[in-house]
A = this chain, B = another copy of it.
């Protein structure tokens, strides 16, 4: 049992660190949730891609470096420690790409991945519908068979990034005659600028259009944009939801960097004798460290040929609560300036604490609410009886 990185890993870290030191913009980019900021973040993706830093774990032929999971974790640590910009390509890279690796065709991967990694095509996710949030099996949007493809109709909502993105992916009910709500769904990729698509941006809590509603009216999608078998969409979507994805949705580097910044803020702003704040800052540091080590243990298990299952639910509950507590502590440390919205001119640290707080509030909700995750922990890890909730 050790925590020693190999010489190759240390070299990789060094390489990432120097590249980031040379390239990370000194002033933060404008907010990702504005048109201008979106464009700036797209350019940043292009810069990452140019030097193969945009999707390090992908094979080289798609623009990656074939990095191991541990190297990816190292990259993420360096990335967040460097204060580099948010990733506009995140939805594609961490949600769609793993599905393409597992269920896509080589043609799809070759066509979709490089422009995804370069920021040329930015992807939005389109999971939720007004009547299908936690209960994703009750999806109603349809895919109707047509010549050479499918016609998508219905409404998707809370589609993150969709206000400015190019394409989206999601599940559609293609076989309404199926005998079970989980069956008869198809996983499809579709354009957001096609005829029949209406995108209505939605403001998140602070008013910024971080997501959108999508209204689809017989939107044509060719067969080549179906992932996996038609009718097998649920299995396709779920097979990548667990396992490694539970590990890569929110990397530890994000939280160790945030905890380090919090300690700096505390040293600058707080009375060190104020143990109430001190204890909360320490808990953020301890939590970030625990999450990092938990992830290393999981990565070691995977490297040993093990599988991860419902552990990703522990993960989700832990990081989302850590992130929220960390940002609540930061706002309290900021005193009266903790109330300022991110776009306020006087907001500390370019509004990043306020933005981070608003973002963290969504953590216990998205990617499976923490209530659902606790059910999974209880039923699958502890073996408690299913059924009543």
Binding site for B on A (CB under 8 A): 273-279, 388-389
Contacts and interface: CB of A to CB of B under 8 A. Distances in A.
Nearest to A275: B276
Given A273-B274, A274-B275, A276-B279, 9 more contacts: A273-B273, A273-B275, A275-B275, A275-B276, A275-B277, A276-B276, A276-B278, A388-B388, A388-B389
A273 B388 CA distance: 48
The 9 A-B residue pairs whose C-beta atoms are closest, nearest first, are A273-B273, A275-B276, A276-B276, A274-B275, A276-B279, A388-B388, A275-B275, A388-B389, A275-B277
A201 B81 CA distance: 61
Nearest to A277: B275
A279 B279 CA distance: 12
Contacts of A275: 273-277
Contacts of A273: 273-275
A385 to B, nearest CB: 12
A77 to B, nearest CB: 30
Contacts of A278: 276
A27 to B, nearest CB: 36
Nearest to A389: B388
Contacts of A274: 273, 275
A341 to B, nearest CB: 27
A276 B276 CA distance: 4
Nearest to A274: B275
A275 B389 CA distance: 39
Contacts of A389: 388
A27 B9 CA distance: 69
A374 to B, nearest CB: 15
Contacts of A276: 275-276, 278-279
Contacts of A279: 276
A162 to B, nearest CB: 34
A389 B278 CA distance: 39
Contacts of A277: 275
A276 B282 CA distance: 13
Nearest to A280: B276
A202 to B, nearest CB: 28
A292 B73 CA distance: 54
A371 to B, nearest CB: 13
A388 B276 CA distance: 39
12 contacts: A273-B273, A273-B274, A273-B275, A274-B275, A275-B275, A275-B276, A275-B277, A276-B276, A276-B278, A276-B279, A388-B388, A388-B389
A163 B275 CA distance: 45
A389 B389 CA distance: 5
A66 to B, nearest CB: 48
